[in-house]
Structure 1
Amino acid sequence: MAAMSTTVDLGLIQKLTNLSDINRILNETLAKERALDVELDQLLSKRADLERSFLLLNAPTAEALELIHEDCQQMLQSVQATSVLAAHISGKVRTLDTAQSRVQETLSDIKSILDRTNCINGVQAAMDSQDYETAANFICTFIELDAKMASHRELFEDGQEDAQRKVLMEAKAQLEVVVDKQLEEAVAQRNQAAVLRYAKLYKPLGKQAEGLQRFVDFLRLTVAGKARAGYSTMAELLEAGKKADFVATLSLLFKDLAMTLEEHEAFIREVFGVSGVLEAVSGLQLECDSHGSRLLARFAEAKRVDRVVSEIRGRKRLGGGSSGATLGGGNKEGGPDPRQVDVLIAELLRLCQLSEEYNQFMLGKMRDALGSAQGQLTAARETNFRSGPFNVAVRELLGQYMALEEFYMNETCSLAVRIDESSPGSLTSSLVDDVFFILRKCGLRAMASGSVQCCAALLAELNNVVSNLLKESLGGKVAAQGAAARLLAAAPSAADLAGRTDTVPSSAMEYAVALNNTDVSSDYVVKLKTELEAYLSSYMNSPGEREKVRSVLSDLSKAATDLRQSNTRALEQLAEAIMPRLRAVMDELATVSYQLSDIEYSSREAEEGWAHHLVASVQLLMTWLQPILTTNNYEGLLHLLLDKLVSRLEALLGRKQFSQLGGLQLERESRTMLSALQELSSRTVRDKLSRLSQMALLLGLESAEEVLDFWTPSSGSGATGGGDSLGGGMTWRLSASEVRAVLLQRSDFVRDSVMVLPL
């Protein structure tokens, strides 16, 4: 206890100036404090024993209580003394800690003063040895230290700080003059390594913005020199009357711009930061605006684009041709030659595509730079980038492209219609392939333009060509061949059925080609729409743009439907024209009786009746027509013809009376027709004859009540299709009233029993 109560001489502590002595006394004090804590814990640990002894007393006595009271007082005094000592030591520790912090701060200031002095000496030595990088780093360090020491002026002797700053600022000014001069010389000599060296020094000199501007000016100067050389070469070719490659020249300009940025991007980002990359993009874009717009203007002048577009728009306003040809001879109506316009479009569109590819590259660099800085390329920034003279010129070219493409599409499609011809052995004429080749070419070029407005407008014009020019041309050819329909309906002789089409009259063949053109065109429109939609993701960047173009393309579906409907109407007319050739067979059926005896039923089985004759006539006609019709037209005509035949057969058979054997004979004839007609079609014809087959089934029943074995509660609902449904019930094509009417055709069925059937 005596050792622990040793007091500390405060006077000795206040005289301490050596950091090691302070740390030593601090450690001794902390050791004493820990010893006191241990002693205090030992005293407190005796409390439980004392309490236990107190409880063990059998009878409290005044003496025992007095002893306990004295012990408690002694313990309390000991604890209070310990507490006071601990508080005293804690205060001394805090005092020592504060002193240590002040010493550390003082030492740091002293180090800064020494560093400032070293910077002064280092700058002077580096300037003498022309080590400008080291000098710039010393200047940057001095400026940082000077800002840090601003609150400790009392550490300097009078005038010492100002003297150091003056020396440093003089060295800084001297270095700035040297750097400016050396950079100018490096730029004049196009010495890229020297430019990089001296441009890097502007950052430590605190002139980062000026250094960035000078470096971007150097990049622009480099690109400008190459651009002028390329333009001069192209201009010389034009003046000499030779062909100049505008696409290659513009591509070379874009390549120089992109490679310049790509090559120096890492340097700019390291020295000047993200804003430096954005500034470099803006500076290079100024060169693109200057030289790119100049190149596009020269292209428009050399190709006389404005004059051609003006002439096209003038012809469009007048609704006809115009005098003279601007591009290498015109068409027969005067005006630009579509072939020359096609060449112009290809070159113009390639220029626009290259421009958009360059724009996307530069915008991508801006996005990458902003992405690294946790920013994003705003719509305003992109709009500002695209608002320069070059992109304005590109948009003007796109507007002219739209006029040229619209002219080319209409002129070449009209020409394809005018020169339409058929080749021997071909089911279609040249019109179909020519028109859709042109439409596909124009549609893909419109999407490749990359402009959603341009693409939407041209695809709308493409749909207009299909819906008007093509549809009217095909419809007119079909309507103009009414007489040929009658020729097609003429039954050929057996000699014509050797697989030859040379016996088909030319007018009939022309009509067949017109039908085939309509059928194939409808399919081609659907294929064209599907193909163009497949290219959407390749040419349109945003989902909104793709959806807008897709909405325009959806109009092609209606055009395809209109062509299909027109084709169906023509086939219906043809089927109607064929029907008179089958009148003889129908007349034969009108004379046939179905109230048969056993002998008549047996004799009918050996004879070739009306059903055989009808099938033979249909086979003769369809075998003759099949080689000159497309598969769709052939199948469509056959099924339309069957619809009309069945309808006529039902009407004729509905006026006859039947015996049971007559019904069985009709069932046999319906099976004969079904089997023979099925061979003519790749599609099922069972549904065409299902009503007739059901009539034959009803007419061959033993009794009228037997129909209930086939009739179910859901029968007679008019469901499509034939055959047996699940559970053995038939899917009836006849309604309940029609079933009764057929049963009443049986001469041996009583009317009252038929009418009370629960159908």
Structure 2
Amino acid sequence: MPESLLHSKFLSGGVPAGRKNGARKETKSEKPAKNDEFEFDFDFTRKLKELRLELEIKKREEERIEKDIAIILEENTIDGGEQNRSFGLAVTRLNNHMLLAENSAKQLTSALKNISSLADTISGRVSALDMAKTRVVGCLQLAGDMRDLGVCAEGIDDAIRSEDFETASQHIHRFLTLDQAVFQIREFKQKDATDSIRHSYEVLSSAKERLSKILKNRLTDAVSKEDVGEMQRFVKLFPMIHESEEGLKRYSVFLNAKIDKLAEDNLRIMRSGGTDDNRRNVLYADTLFMFFEGVAGIIDSNLPVLEHSYGMDNLLKFVTILQERIDEFFRQLIEEFETRRKIPHLVRQVEGRKSEESAPDALEIDAVASEICMMNQSVEMYWRFVGRRIGKYDDSPRDMAGEDDDEIDAEKIAEQQRLRKEAKEQNLDKLMNRSRVGTKIQELIGTYCLFENFYMLKSINLAIKSDDKEDAAGLTSSVIDDVVFIIRKSIRRAAGSGNVDSVGATINNATALLDTSLQDFFKKNIQSGYPSSNFASDALQSAQTAYSAYQQGKPVKDSQESQKEQFLLTLNNAAKISELLVDLQKDLVTEWSGVKRPAVEKDKLEHATTQIEDAAKRLALFAKHGVEELFRVAFKPKIRQGAEPYEDIDRQMTMQDLEYFEAHDPFIEQFLASVDRLLVEHEKILFPDNYSTLLLLTSSELARQIENVLQKCQFNRYGALQLDREYRQICAYLTNVAGWNAREKVARLGQIVALLNVETIDEAMDVWQNSKTLTTSVRTLTLPEVKKTLSLRADFPTVAIKALE
């Protein structure tokens, strides 16, 4: 066998050598050999040749691969040697640089250690210098204090003998503010070093006692003689000798005497009936105002003197001392007021009233409430005056005298100022709210709220009883103006008192009365309903009204007309008072926004005004329900009756019918004319807001009735065109009388008309899909409604309509 054949056989056969795949498998088509000995015959010679040939091929392949490896290695050896040499040189240079960097780092470390050692040495020397400087400064300060102590001791006796009390006070002030280290020296055992200091200390201590007695005696004499110049001279000296409270107490004796004199004069005038007979109803409020005005003048004229000498922190103590005499006057005034105005008796009558006869007169309560408000206003004005005059804060860090300026940081100063401010606010709040004036005026405000509520209740009930139509053409009655006037008067009176809590209580009581007394009155007039135009119902309603009037002892009038008038007046009254309350709320917000108030008071007033707005919304909703009842009785049956003839018109029309209907409208003009007559009839007797509500209800009902009769008709293309023409007439009319809001009420009808005015079913589906995207405020027709609408077209196949998805 040739070598090439063997090579092909053993390389491409896909079966490894030595596998017994040479023997053929027996098949059904082959016959067995005649001699069984040939089945196990194997040719070893041929097989050895094949293996030798295969070995030779592998050896040649190995040699070829070795040659390729040798060539590659040779090439790499030639190029790689240059690269290795370059890389080695680079590594050598890098190593040299690293050695240099290491040496430099060691030198830098050594230098830094030397610098650190020098810095520690210098820092220690600087610290020692600072300590030495501090000690030197302390010694100089101590020496200066010792010198000042000697100067003060030498000059104090001469100043007292010559009655130069200002200089003497300055010496004592300097003595009292010296460093305590000066006085500790006098305890040393070395007599030669401490005798002078001990002597000066004893001289000044004795002089301080003598000067204090002299100043007290001189100030007392000046007070008794009412010598203002001398009083102001000596009162300024007490803070210099650290006796501020003593100076304030002695000076307040003079001011308290003036306050007592002022109180006595005002009480005498008050008990004699005042100076103006026209103001007897506010006699006590005027007396309180005049008294506080006089007290403010006394304080205002004396505070500058005290502020300069005593500081702002001590002014509150001074006002607190004066407050005792003010409280005494206020006590006498309130006792006179409660006795003469019979306040306890009125309170018992208001709280325990069981009938109208036992209740006090509303005018009497009105006068007392006004006077209480004026009294509270005077108190509030006085407190604001006090707060402005003593509410300033001394931001100078004079309480830190003697400390090193470097030790006083901004945070410490700010913290001390904050604490001082909080303490002053607490003391001022205690003065305003826990004094007799503060506590008693709060009691009076509680009484005022009780009286104000009673006044509004009785006045509103009286306005309801005397309710009458304003004129023949009037849309509202007198109760509206009366109720709004009463509420506005009470709220403004409470606001004039200056007490925000009383304003909130008054508004709360006013809205409660609107929701109870006024709405109960309105509901009585609405419960009988609006009389219908049906003869049988009219007769029954007339009989009921006549019987009700007979039971109440009233004359029997034309029941139907009277009931209609009362019903419409109630609707108009509810809408009108809602509008007036909204205007009142806006006016109050505008007025109060211009007054500077604390955030808490602003929140209270804002919440109070929202109560007025909520009450207005409830009355507007009440009026809306009444208009709906009016529409249900007077409009809805007539609109339904007017729409019924529509189904009698054949809507499967021809072109000639369409042209004829354009000139001779068979339905829509007459229908709209009947609706317009209803609207015109009620336009003159309804309040504009109620009439607007009626127009929208009419628009909705008109569209609904037209839609109902459409479902009973069959249209062709010309009939749908006539329907579109009628729909446009309806839209034009409603837009003209009710505005663009009416278009939303007939938008659903517009979708139905648009679906009926299509050529094919596919076009109808496109119109429906577009209406889903364009219509946002009106509910889009559902698929069953679309199918029902398209079934009204007689020329559309029913099968295609049912197959819509």
Change (3 A) 1:674 1:160: closer
1:629-640 correspondence runs (5 A): 629-640=686-697
2:685 is aligned, of 618, 621, 628, to 628
Change (3 A) 1:191 1:285: same
Change (3 A) 1:133 1:627: same
The AA in structure 1 aligned to 2:381 is: E
Alignment pair present for 1:233 and 2:255: no
Alignment pair present for 1:439 and 2:487: yes
How many positions carry a matched residue from both structures?
A: 625
Verify the 8 A CA contact 2:585 2:612 in the aligned structure 1: yes
2:367 is aligned, of 343, 356, 364, to 343
1:288 deviates by 1.9
1:342-741 correspondence runs (5 A): 342-369=366-393, 374=417, 375-378=420-423, 380-385=426-431, 386-424=433-471, 425-480=473-528, 482-483=530-531, 508-534=564-590, 541-548=597-604, 550-551=606-607, 553-576=609-632, 577-582=634-639, 585-712=642-769, 715=771, 719-721=775-777, 733-741=780-788
Q: 2:40 maps to what in 1?
A: none
CA distance in 1 between partners of 2:136 and 2:763 (Å): 120
Larger mean Cα displacement after TM superposition, 172-181 or 413-422 = 172-181
The AA in structure 1 aligned to 2:802 is: M
2:796 is aligned, of 744, 749, 758, to 749
Larger mean Cα displacement after TM superposition, 371-380 or 111-120 = 111-120
1:412 deviates by 0.8
CA distance in 2 between partners of 1:538 and 1:354 (Å): 21
Q: 2:346 maps to what in 1?
A: 308
Q: 1:292 maps to what in 2?
A: 330
Change (3 A) 1:558 1:202: closer
1:352 deviates by 0.9
Q: 1:729 maps to what in 2?
A: none
Verify the 8 A CA contact 2:507 2:612 in the aligned structure 1: no
1:409 deviates by 0.9
2:246 is aligned, of 196, 210, 225, to 210
Which consecutive unaligned segments of at least 5 residues does structure 2 have?
1-127, 397-415, 539-559
CA distance in 2 between partners of 1:106 and 1:376 (Å): 37
For 1:468-525, what per-residue CA distance to the aligned partner results, in whole angstroms no more than 9, with x for missing partners?
Answer: 11222223223335227889x99xxxxxxxxxxxxx9665444332211122223334
1:446 deviates by 3.3
Change (3 A) 1:157 1:708: closer
1:172 deviates by 4.8
The AA in structure 2 aligned to 1:181 is: N
Verify the 8 A CA contact 2:526 2:567 in the aligned structure 1: yes
Verify the 8 A CA contact 2:755 2:767 in the aligned structure 1: no
CA distance in 2 between partners of 1:667 and 1:689 (Å): 13
CA distance in 2 between partners of 1:176 and 1:564 (Å): 77
CA distance in 2 between partners of 1:620 and 1:462 (Å): 41
Verify the 8 A CA contact 1:119 1:142 in the aligned structure 2: yes
CA distance in 2 between partners of 1:679 and 1:145 (Å): 95
Verify the 8 A CA contact 1:484 1:507 in the aligned structure 2: no
For 1:565-621, what per-residue CA distance to the aligned partner results, in whole angstroms no more than 9, with x for missing partners?
Answer: 322222122222223334553342232111222332222222132100011111222
Query: Counterpart of 2:452 in 1: which secondary structure?
Result: helix
Larger mean Cα displacement after TM superposition, 207-216 or 184-193 = 207-216
Verify the 8 A CA contact 2:172 2:241 in the aligned structure 1: yes
CA distance in 1 between partners of 2:213 and 2:478 (Å): 78
Change (3 A) 1:213 1:104: closer
The AA in structure 1 aligned to 2:430 is: N
CA distance in 2 between partners of 1:709 and 1:344 (Å): 76
Query: Counterpart of 2:434 in 1: which secondary structure?
Result: coil
1:314 deviates by 1.2
Query: Counterpart of 1:466 in 2: which secondary structure?
Result: helix
Q: With structure 2 as the length reference, what TM-score do the two structures score? A: 0.70
Query: Counterpart of 2:793 in 1: which secondary structure?
Result: coil
2:317 is aligned, of 279, 296, 320, to 279
For 1:157-195, what per-residue CA distance to the aligned partner results, in whole angstroms no more than 9, with x for missing partners?
Answer: 997767666665665555444333321221112221110
1:633 deviates by 1.2
Q: 1:183 maps to what in 2?
A: 219
1:560 deviates by 3.3
Q: 1:328 maps to what in 2?
A: none
The AA in structure 2 aligned to 1:646 is: A
Query: Counterpart of 1:280 in 2: which secondary structure?
Result: helix
CA distance in 1 between partners of 2:475 and 2:600 (Å): 42
Query: Counterpart of 2:352 in 1: which secondary structure?
Result: helix
Change (3 A) 1:735 1:121: closer
The AA in structure 2 aligned to 1:229 is: D
Q: 1:39 maps to what in 2?
A: none
1:440 deviates by 2.2
CA distance in 2 between partners of 1:704 and 1:252 (Å): 91
CA distance in 2 between partners of 1:104 and 1:505 (Å): 106
**Considering only aligned residues, what root-mean-square deviation do their CA atoms show, in Å?**
3.8
For 1:340-382, what per-residue CA distance to the aligned partner results, in whole angstroms no more than 9, with x for missing partners?
Answer: 3222211111111221232233244444247667122356434
1:741 deviates by 1.3
CA distance in 1 between partners of 2:720 and 2:179 (Å): 120
CA distance in 1 between partners of 2:705 and 2:138 (Å): 117
The AA in structure 2 aligned to 1:197 is: R
Change (3 A) 1:218 1:701: same
CA distance in 2 between partners of 1:106 and 1:716 (Å): 96
Verify the 8 A CA contact 2:494 2:502 in the aligned structure 1: yes
Change (3 A) 1:287 1:230: same
1:309 deviates by 1.6
For 1:644-700, what per-residue CA distance to the aligned partner results, in whole angstroms no more than 9, with x for missing partners?
Answer: 222122111211111221111111111122222322123442223333333333333
1:402 deviates by 1.0
Which consecutive unaligned segments of at least 5 residues does structure 1 have?
1-93, 324-334, 491-503, 723-731
Q: 1:15 maps to what in 2?
A: none
Change (3 A) 1:106 1:486: same
1:151 is aligned, of 178, 181, 185, to 185
1:434 deviates by 1.5
Alignment pair present for 1:135 and 2:185: no
Q: 2:542 maps to what in 1?
A: none
Verify the 8 A CA contact 2:274 2:283 in the aligned structure 1: no
Paired-residue identity, %: 25
The AA in structure 1 aligned to 2:787 is: R
Change (3 A) 1:184 1:665: same
Query: Counterpart of 1:710 in 2: which secondary structure?
Result: helix
Q: 1:58 maps to what in 2?
A: none
1:391 deviates by 1.3
Q: Which has the larger radius of gyration?
A: 2
Verify the 8 A CA contact 2:530 2:563 in the aligned structure 1: no
The AA in structure 1 aligned to 2:621 is: Q
The AA in structure 1 aligned to 2:663 is: A
Verify the 8 A CA contact 1:596 1:659 in the aligned structure 2: yes
Q: 1:321 maps to what in 2?
A: 356
